Amino acid sequence: MKDDVVLLLLKQVKSGEVSIEDARTALEGVDLSEENYTSAIDHGVFNEPTAGTIVRSSISPAGDSIMVLLVGIWGILWTLFWAGSLSYGLYNHWDQQLLSLFLAMTLTTLIIMGIVYLRFVMPDLVIIKHRRNKYITPKDSEGWKKYEV
């Protein structure tokens, strides 16, 4: 996702492209009181959202970064190495301690790849849905729906 205007302006001030005075004049019309700030932070954290709302985080992950690509290639190569060593060791009746090391390293590499995928590649979008009861008691009046054709 793209950065918003304020974050882009902060990055430009940090790099020195824009002076602090120019950034202040650019944000002169923005009015953010302390109550609005705290309610924006508390929304979705302390308040229970209604069913079906879409909650987005303000900082989205960067799935197209070079780090994700390098970890993916690293993970595939090491997984192939450890899994190949495990297969070769099973075929040649190696010691179980060495084979368990190969299995543990294979699973650890896959877990690291999964963590990087979940953290940096998955979209930062949460749709909140509430489930209904699986068993509807006979006295539950709002659990039954009457459909007419």
Alpha-carbon gap, residue 146 to 142, rounded angstroms: 10
Q: For residues 65, 67, 72 and 74, what is the CA-based torsion angle, rounded to 10 degrees?
A: 160
Domain for residue 71, yes or no?
Answer: yes
Higher-pLDDT residue of 113, 64: 113
Residue 127 has pLDDT above 70, yes or no: no
pLDDT at residue 132, rounded to an integer: 59
Domain for residue 41, yes or no?
Answer: no
At 112, list the tokens: 């690291």
Estimate the crossing angle of helix 96-116 against helix 66-91, to 10 degrees: 160
* Model confidence pLDDT, tens digit, residues 88-119: 999 999 999 999 999 999 999 999 999 988 88
Question: DSSP secondary-structure letter at 126?
Answer: E
Domain for residue 14, yes or no?
Answer: no
What pTM did the predictor assign?
0.47
Residue 58 has pLDDT above 60, yes or no: no
Alpha-carbon gap, residue 113 to 73, rounded angstroms: 10
Domain for residue 95, yes or no?
Answer: yes
Domain for residue 34, yes or no?
Answer: no
Q: Which structural domain, as residue segments, surrounds residue 94? A: 50-127
Domain for residue 40, yes or no?
Answer: no
* Sequential DSSP letters for 30-62: ----HHHHHHHHHTTTTSPPPTT-EEE-SS---
> What is the average pLDDT across 45-69?
64
Domain for residue 138, yes or no?
Answer: no
* Model confidence pLDDT, tens digit, residues 3-47: 566 777 778 888 888 888 887 787 777 666 677 667 666 665 566
Domain for residue 102, yes or no?
Answer: yes
Higher-pLDDT residue of 125, 17: 17
Burial (CB count within 10 angstroms: exposed 0-12, middle 13-18, buried 19+), residue 140: exposed
pLDDT at residue 73, rounded to an integer: 95
52-56, 67-71, 98-102, 108-112, range with the lowest pLDDT: 52-56
The number of folded domains in the chain is 1
- Among 50-54, 79-83, 131-135, top mean pLDDT goes to 79-83
Contacts of 89 (CB under 8 A, 6+ apart): 98, 99, 102
